[in-house]
Structure 1
């Protein structure tokens, strides 16, 4: 801190040079007397003055560094200072900072700054990163939780401001903005996890779980149901992919059409899990999704070509791996662009191929629980328990061969 101190006669002054680009706005440098000739005391005062000036510089640059970060530093300095006189000095500097903040930012932010610095309010930044790092869920889900909790924190910057009524009003506001009920439920799930973590620390003024038994307004955008593709539309998409020399995408479309498998299931298929006659899907998002699917006779030439040509062990080779280790994101994006170019809206996605196959099997008279075994759906209800055991691969093969599309010969 000596770099920010200048001694003039009997007193020390805090000084900080302003970056050249901002000198027209803020002046050449900040200078203020610490009011003392005691270097230790002057250093304490100067550290807080300089912190405030640096915050002004960042704000002048257009960077929102979060004024509460400075309040947290005040809090730590006050709590760690054992000398009563020096602690009084820090609190005096704090009052000066609060006065300046009130003039520039208003009473509400100035009071919040003071409460955080004095330890009567607790910003989420003290706990958020540690909460995120200890999550034991999948990386993708953890990332979504963190994004959702940040939305919550933007509304409630300090923990003591959170209460059940405030949370309900906030969720009503999300509904009014068109945020769907499903999205709100997802946000609540992440926030509930975060609040459960905070409860370990017995934070004074923190309410019990404010996200339990929340009543959501029945408003907001409702997702339009996904629609199946017509068989000729699937062939058109496949033909477009072939004409654009997107052969892997064309193969993916054909496999999806004849298996009803999810895109992530197909993209993660290993060659070792595919024989001449059967896909063994072992990487699925549900236990019911782990299954054996017979290979339709129309796509056997594609399967042979892919198995023989694979050099990385995957049936669909050389796909880009996403940050969470998935191989389907890039292909999903490519399919989305293709179907949009073909004139299909948001209700038709890759998953719609699955709907098409299910619809085709239903229309062909295949039993519901045989279809569930083929596409990896859960079997529910009393009847589901009766048919809980997987049907034979031969029965599935008879069913899958009832599926037909107006493709040219696939090779």
Structure 2
């Protein structure tokens, strides 16, 4: 039988017919959406229908996800606007009818502009943008947060909450008066980056005519004075700090977590994502991570074998190595958050901290285990034992060889392939546990 899905014969030609989901019928004001295909050929109708079906279903998704600014009336306006591309005639009729119903409502101008597509609420396309960028939950939340601040700031100034009303002058004022207050330049730069990307996408899609966040420079760091403490930024642990951390507690999962981090060079999230089946054959198998290079095998250090055996015993292959951690809620896409917070509390309890000039974040953190592993491996490599080289280190920790990629990448990486198992093993084993502090 010929394929007639989403098709309906109407008069003397075919048209697309898609049912409106029950929960959206109050938005679209009907039970079905039809689009004429202007052909009496079933074969041609089958070729044309999919593009129209995709548009209609995209409008359903947008109606569900889009949470416009300005309360219920603006929400209704934004939802009415969705119908414009599907059925312009019905859109115009319903818009006119709704304007008559509103009568003298003071928000009638805003309603008309939004519903007609003249004005675009700031967050109207937020869901489509984050889906397009495949943002992780944290990144999407950061963008939503800074847009929320922007809307609050605009309201205080009496500025409409529309994309079209944000110009370069307003963008600069928002940076100076709000974003730069009480936040580090690095954090402000991150928020500014989200705004630039969102407006760049809006401009690409024809929803904005300019990107007011481009070329908005941030202030330079103040010049050093004699009174400032030296601050070299994030760093590896000293041997004393490492011993304090590794031998400062025997309770819970923290001792195992810290030792694995130090003796493998893995990132915290990589460790927390490990399942029992990822710790077999004498290797840790990292299957995803920060970059493509993060997918790798790391030899399990001799001093970790007993820990892995203990944590694997009696567990299913799909169980997590650190099964004490709670399941991820819908608001998070990283499993390591509870472990990160717990480690920060522990690190401060044992007195491992460095915040020169009262900076908000310490120069030492969980990632310092990874820095320490790399430093120890580099120091061993400098003894010229010939067992491994810088490319081995890059393979083990999942970095690209950025410093020499244009010089020796072909010779040292592309042609010979990844470092050998014996070289990786030699590198991992070169990192030794420190002696326990004397009591």
Q: Please say whether Structure 1 and Structure 2 have the same fold, judged by a TM-score greater than 0.5.
A: yes
Which residue of structure 1 aligns with residue 143 of structure 2?
Answer: 145
Equivalent-residue separation in structure 1 for 2:201 and 2:281 (angstroms): 50
Aligned to 2:192: 188
Please say if 1:394 is aligned against 2:406: no
Kept in 2: contact 1:192–1:211 (CA 8 A): yes
Kindly indicate whether residue 299 of structure 2 is the aligned counterpart of residue 315 of structure 1. no
Matches within 5 A, 1:320-339: 320-323=326-329, 324-339=332-347
Q: Which residue number in structure 1 is paired with residue 152 of structure 2?
A: 154
Higher gyration radius (CA) = 1
Q: Offset at 1:240? A: 2.9
Runs of at least 5 residues in structure 1 that lack an aligned partner in the other structure: 1-65, 98-112
1:237 aligns with 2:245: yes
Change (3 A) 1:274 1:221: farther
The whole-number CA distance in structure 2 between the counterparts of 1:173 and 1:259 is 45
* Deviation (angstroms), 1:286: 1.0
Q: For 1:74-133, what per-residue CA distance to the aligned partner results, in whole angstroms no more than 9, with x for missing partners?
A: 998x9956479x84x955x34xx5xxxxxxxxxxxxxxx575256376543555566557
Partner SS state of residue 285, structure 2: strand
Q: Is the 8 A contact 1:228 1:356 kept in 2?
A: yes
Q: State the SS of the aligned residue for 2:235.
A: coil
Structure 2 residue corresponding to 1:360, chosen from 376, 393, 399? 376
Residue in 2 that maps onto 1:14 = none
* Corresponding residue SS for 2:328: coil
Q: Distance in 2 between matches of 1:67 and 1:278?
A: 54
Tell whether 2:267 aligns with 1:269. no
Q: CA deviation at 1:164?
A: 2.0
Q: 2:398 aligns with which of 376, 386, 390?
A: 376
Separation in structure 1 between the aligned mates of residue 133 and residue 293 of structure 2, nearest angstrom: 26
TM-score, with normalisation over the residues of structure 2? 0.62
The aligned residue for residue 295 of structure 2 is: 290
* Aligned 1:252-267 pairs, distance under 5 A: 252-267=257-272
CA distance in 2, matches of 1:357, 1:298: 14
Q: Which blocks of at least 5 consecutive residues in structure 2 are unaligned?
A: 1-68, 81-91, 155-160, 225-230, 354-361, 383-388
Match of 2:283 in 1: 278
Pairs aligned (count) = 319
Give 1:4-403 correspondences, 5 Å limit.
80=94, 82=96, 87=100, 90=102, 93-94=104-105, 116-117=110-111, 119=113, 122-124=120-122, 126-128=124-126, 136-156=134-154, 157-174=161-178, 176-196=180-200, 198-199=202-203, 206-219=208-221, 225-242=233-250, 245-246=251-252, 248-311=253-316, 313-323=319-329, 324-345=332-353, 346-365=362-381, 367-380=389-402, 381=404, 382-388=407-413, 389-403=417-431
Tell me how far apart the structure 2 counterparts of residues 148 and 355 of structure 1 sit (CA, whole Å).
31
CA deviations over 1:191-237 (Å, ceiling 9, x no partner)? 2343345447756xx53222333333324999972221223433322
Report which of the two has the higher share of helix.
1
State whether residues 296 and 401 of structure 1, in contact with CA within 8 Å, keep that contact through their aligned partners in structure 2: yes
Is residue 172–residue 216 contact of structure 1 (8 Å, CA) maintained in 2? no
Question: Deviations 1:117-152 (Å, cap 9, x if unpaired)?
Answer: 563765435555665576633333222222222233
- Aligned counterpart, 2:54: none
- 1:298 deviates by 1.5
Checking the alignment, whether the CA contact within 8 Å between 2:374 and 2:393 is kept in structure 1 is yes
Deviates more, 1:299-308 or 1:225-234: 225-234
Q: Distance in 1 between matches of 2:179 and 2:411?
A: 42
SS at structure 1 position matched to 2:248: helix
Q: Distance in 2 between matches of 1:316 and 1:90?
A: 58
TM-score normalised per structure 1: 0.66
**Whole-angstrom CA distance in 2 between matches of 1:349 and 1:338:** 11
- The 8 Å contact of residues 265 and 374 in structure 2, kept in 1 or not, is answered as yes
Please name the residue that 1:19 is paired with. Answer: none
